[in-house]
Every structure is written in structure tokens, then in C-alpha cells.
């Protein structure tokens, strides 16, 4: 099941890359709420995310994180929806909500830990015409139980409106 999900997300990411309107490179960190899912505290990692708009307010965003451990490469992979909640007065920024799902992998194999839910809020603030600062925080859930939080800080490079 995990391998099939990973292959599906990879295929969706390749299809999304052709129509992507933006790419975000972030630094991400994860902290648990006392539950040792995902091996407890995970190290700070790099994250790459594509943004494919479906309307003026909604975008599909496949993503992957990667960090290195002594045992090999580990990280999260998934897809989320980004929905604009509010436009800031200066038209240079917007507040957005995210919701989606992620899986955990290690050394190129998907984990049997299942699928995790992601729910978050973030800010997309334009620095120049095509570059934006993008801080974001997400609640990580297993089934419906909150197990931790992710914090991402990154830069988005995009064409047209974010």
C-alpha cells in the first residue's frame, strides 16, 4: 500500500511539474506532542514543493522533504491543497490554509506507519515580482489525533499571481 501511494504521488508530481506556477524551497522542522511517532523529534530538513493553481483561490501542492541520518535518507512526501483565506491590504501578501496528507519514508522505502493528515496556516508575502517569503505551520495528525507540528520557512519563485 505504501509503495503504491508513493508511486501515485510521484506520478502526480511529474504531471504537476509541467503546469507548475511556482516552486517553494523551504527549511522544515517537526516536533511531536509527546508521542514517538515518526521517531520523535525529526532533524531540520529541506523541503521542495510545487504549486499548481486550480483556481484563483486554490492550488494543489505536491511536496517532499529530505534529511540524512546515519542509517540513510529519511523524510516526508505528500500532497496538500493551499486555499487563500485573505488578501492583505497591500496586495503583496495573502494568508492561506493548507490541508493534505503525507507519508514517511526512510532509505528509499515507505514506512508502514500509514498516512498522516496535515492542517495548517501560512503567509505568502511578495518580496519582488516573482519571489515571495513563505512561513507556514501545520498540525500533523494520525487518524484524527494530533501527534505533532511542522514549521516551514521558505522562498517561493512563481510566475504570475501566487
Q: What is the pLDDT along the chain (162 residues), one digit of tens a residue?
A: 455 655 555 555 555 544 557 889 999 988 888 666 555 556 788 899 988 888 889 999 999 888 776 666 778 889 999 999 999 877 789 999 999 999 887 775 655 667 889 999 999 999 998 899 999 999 999 888 888 899 999 999 987 655
**Cα gap 96→94, rounded to integer Å:** 6
pLDDT at 95: 96
Q: Tell me the Ramachandran region of residue 66: left when phi exceeds 0, alpha when psi lies from -120 to 50, beta otherwise.
A: beta
Secondary structure of residue 124 in the 3-state scheme: strand
Q: Between the CA of residue 53 and those of 17, 70, 83, what are the distances in Å?
A: 12, 38, 10
pLDDT at 56: 84
| CA angle 34–150–89, rounded 5-degree value | 135
Q: What is the DSSP letter of 156?
A: E
pTM recorded for the entire structure: 0.78
CATH class of 2-158: mainly beta
Q: What pLDDT is attached to residue 143?
A: 81
**Measured between alpha carbons, how far is 102 from 84 in angstroms, rounded to an integer?**
21
Amino acid at each position: 500500500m505504501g509503495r503504491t501511494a508513493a508511486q501515485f504521488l510521484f506520478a502526480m508530481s511529474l504531471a504537476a511539474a509541467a503546469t507548475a506556477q511556482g516552486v517553494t524551497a523551504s527549511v522544515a522542522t517537526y516536533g511531536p506532542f509527546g508521542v514517538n511517532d515518526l521517531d520523535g523529534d525529526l532533524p531540520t530538513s529541506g523541503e521542495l514543493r510545487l504549486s499548481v493553481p486550480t483556481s484563483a483561490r486554490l492550488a494543489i501542492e505536491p511536496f517532499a522533504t529530505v534529511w540524512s541520518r546515519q542509517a540513510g535518507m529519511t523524510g516526508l512526501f505528500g500532497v496538500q491543497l493551499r486555499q487563500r483565506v485573505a488578501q492583505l491590504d497591500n496586495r503583496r501578501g495573502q494568508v492561506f490554509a493548507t490541508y493534505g496528507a503525507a507519508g514517511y519514508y526512510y532509505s528509499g522505502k515507505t514506512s508502514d506507519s500509514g498516512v498522516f493528515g496535515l492542517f495548517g496556516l501560512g503567509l505568502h508575502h511578495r518580496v519582488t515580482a516573482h519571489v515571495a517569503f513563505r512561513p507556514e505551520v501545520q498540525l500533523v495528525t494520525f487518524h484524527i489525533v494530533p501527534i505533532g507540528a511542522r514549521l516551514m520557512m521558505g522562498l517561493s519563485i512563481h510566475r504570475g499571481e501566487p
